[in-house]
Amino acid sequence: MHRLLLLAAFPLVMFAQPNSQAGAVDALFAPYSRAGAPGASVMVIRDGKVLYQHAYGLADVEGKAAAATSTNYRLASVTKQFTAMAIMILAERKRLAYDDPLTKFFPGYPPYGRQITIRQLLNHTSGLKAYEDLIPPGRTAQLHDADVLELLRHESGAYFPPGSEWRYSNTGYAHLALIVEKASGMGFAAFLKKNIFDPLDMAGTVAFEDGVSAVAHRAYGYTERGGGFERTDQSLTSAVLGDGGIYSSVEDLYHWDQALYSSKLVRPDTLRQAFTPAVLTGGRKTAYGFGWEIGEYRGLATVRHSGSTVGFRTHIARFPDRRFTVIVLINRNGADPGKIADQIADLYLYN
């Protein structure tokens, strides 16, 4: 009964889908439809309408559970746009400012943290060292965001002066999750649920904490080896939430995508900053805002992000001028969901 109610409440209006486009999309996902193989979920959206949604293959190979459009995949770095939104919400509430230094929230941080701002964490210009390279040899316990902070407390400097260069940083987004907690007085996962997921009716989406929360309709991650698929669902860094710990489905991400055309979460002027490229101290523009890669595809402006972690590959590609979005979630290594998203855009925007 509960599942039936969820389906009845899902507010999507489907366009009639030309067989040629549907068949072409299905052909792109043929490798994910093989018997016994981990699969994928896809959704194509235009003007608030779902043009096509489908799932392929298995969410759980061992349990033989089929993937569905309600299946929740680990988003990996697609998580960063939600972490950034949490910071923007708190900025609007005057609980923090983008130019606050790290040391405002972490008083014991090494001196180099005095020059690093929240803005630089958001747009990957902080220069913070990659925490993945600082994990002690032989460690077997998963890291959490607080462990990332502790690793950086023992460093004496950054890769470069803050704001002078661009370097993608998972470390920065782990720090941002902890700043959300400091500024809000809530746990990061709880803040996301109360302030983003619940208001947008993203009922299945969760920043997963082992032993604290659960992921319903969960996909498990896999790697192809020796002609079969081995479950590779977790790594040492899988419990770090701020840079990649959210699970969601294409159905829930529909609500997220549509909210980004509205002021449901933050004001338009606040949201605009997420889609504005950072400018380095030398004047050069980057291709990154707050949690979003900014660019173009075949002459159309895009905001997008990929996610890659052990056993999962994800991508959301938005073409705001056309109000067109492609979401691709895959539960295996070796996939290229960004390329697939562009091929789907070709089918709908250029054919």
Cβ proximity of 61 and 225 under 8 Å? no
CA distance 153 to 139: 18
Q: Any idea which residue has 């994800």 for tokens?
A: 314
In sequence order, what are the residues at sequence separation of 6 or more whose Cβ sits closer than 8 angstroms to the Cβ of residue 67? 38, 39, 40, 41, 55, 56, 57, 58, 59, 219, 331
The count of C-alpha atoms lying within 13 angstroms of the C-alpha of 18, restricted to the half-sphere facing its C-beta, is 6
Q: In what order do the strands lie in the sheet with 206-207?
A: 73-74, 246-248, 206-207
Selecting among 41, 70, 77, 238, the annotated active-site residue is: 77
Answer yes or no: 262 catalytic.
no
Structure token pair of residue 204: 């299945």
Residue 96 CA to chain centroid, in angstroms?
A: 23
Comparing C-alpha atoms, which of 260, 332, 314 is closest to residue 45?
260
Give the H or E element holding residue 126.
Answer: none
Q: Specify which residues 41 forms β-bridges with.
A: 55, 329
Q: What's the chain's length in residues? A: 351
Cβ proximity of 163 and 280 under 8 Å? yes
Determine whether 226 is exposed, middle or buried from the number of CB atoms within 10 Å of its CB (0-12, 13-18, 19+): exposed
DSSP reduced 3-state for 45:
strand
- Residue 204, by phi and psi: left (phi above 0), alpha (psi -120 to 50) or beta? alpha
Q: Specify which residues 58 forms β-bridges with.
A: 38, 66
- Residue 195, by phi and psi: left (phi above 0), alpha (psi -120 to 50) or beta? alpha
Active site residues: 77
